[in-house]
Amino acid sequence: MPEWLNALPKAELHLHLEGSLEPELLFALAERNQIALPWSDVEALRAAYAFNNLQEFLDLYYAGANVLRTEQDFYDLTWAYLQRCKAQNVIHVEPFFDPQTHTDRGIPFEVVLRGIQQALRDGEQQLGISHGLILSFLRHLPEDEAFKTLEQAMPFRDAFIGVGLDSSEKGFPPRLFERVFAKARSEGLHAVAHAGEEGPPEYIWEALDLLKIKRIDHGVRAIEDERLMQRIIDEQIPLTVCPLSNIKLCVFEHMGQHNILEMLERGVKVTVNSDDPAYFGGYVGENFAALHEHLGMTEAQARRLAQNSLDARLA
């Protein structure tokens, strides 16, 4: 990666902590927790990182998260991510975590939260990285379950800046979560949601109008709807775009076809993020580098993208 790119101060606004679980740490935690794995070694696991769509990735991502059991595991996961951030001049992070992935396996909510929170605090003090944590609901589960998760979170209200919506998109439109998002907003939490990654522009409209989101996670399919494009430009609604993720999950065939710079030039407030860096081939820095290499991103464009990420912070 060019040094000027690495040196740019950046914020990361679309990162799933469970998706930063590198194969080496996954194997180390499996050993520590005495969990048998279906892969013989790190190379065999890496070889399984070939996906045709979002669902194929999610199946492996949820299987990987099974090694996370103790507060220390969640600390180690988060701390490893923050060290990567430090090395790439990511100065602010607003990561997601998926409580249901863990509580549904019998891991108490507070075990997950305490480990993440302690690492974020240490990251602030020892690495100078500021943060705001986002609790994400799994959209393939019913809204009732999201309500239960929000209830579990409320004793720790101050640990969060907002709620998000992730997991399988197609067939799970934002409108299914209108009530739980209203409840979260009534508690003073910001709302964001994955929309327009695999799902149609209609899902982005719903996320804006029904969930009243402040940022769109992915949102790359907005380009199919001119009226929607005008709205996100007029209202300067940030998009947290994840280029390497989009290639790995076949949202675009090649990086050369990615629309992020076209959106940037049209005045959309796009940002660069890594989504699930352990699975998709890199962190924020590698995502910027890919845009430079395959789309001819200029230094001026990189500076605008980095500035957008700082401007789009919620914390």
Catalytic residues: 197
With binding defined as CB under 6 A, does residue 245 bind ligand HPA? yes
The span from the CA of 62 to the CA of 47, in Å, is 17
The entry of Zn ion, ligand HPA, none near residue 19 (CB within 5 to 8 angstroms by kind) is: ligand HPA
With binding defined as CB under 6 A, does residue 16 bind ligand HPA? yes
**Under rule CB under 5 A, how many of the chain's residues touch Zn ion?**
1
What does the DSSP 8-state code read for residue 143? Answer: H
List, in order, residues 6 or more apart from 182 with CB less than 8 Å away.
Answer: none
- Min separation Cβ 177 and ligand HPA, Å: 14
With binding defined as CB under 6 A, does residue 240 bind ligand HPA? no
With binding defined as CB under 6 A, does residue 71 bind ligand HPA? no
- Min separation Cβ 26 and ligand HPA, Å: 15
With binding defined as CB under 6 A, does residue 12 bind ligand HPA? no
Give CB contacts under 8 A, 24+ apart, made by 20-27.
Answer: 20/77, 20/80, 20/81, 20/84, 20/276, 20/277, 20/278, 21/64, 21/65, 21/67, 21/68, 21/77, 21/278, 22/80, 22/278, 23/278, 25/76, 25/77, 25/80, 26/64, 26/67
With binding defined as CB under 6 A, does residue 166 bind ligand HPA? yes
Considering only 5, 15, 17, 19, the residue that binds ligand HPA (CB under 6 A) is: 19
Determine the Cα angle at 137 with ends 211 and 258, to 5°.
75
What does the DSSP 8-state code read for residue 197? Answer: S
Pairing mode, strands 162-166 and 190-195: parallel
- Min separation Cβ 241 and ligand HPA, Å: 11
Pattern 256-295, binding to Zn ion, x per CB under 5 A? Answer: -------------------x--------------------
The span from the CA of 305 to the CA of 287, in Å, is 12
- Min separation Cβ 242 and ligand HPA, Å: 7
Residues that bind ligand HPA (CB under 6 A): 16, 19, 54, 61, 166-167, 194, 197, 245, 275-276
Residues that bind Zn ion (CB under 5 A): 275
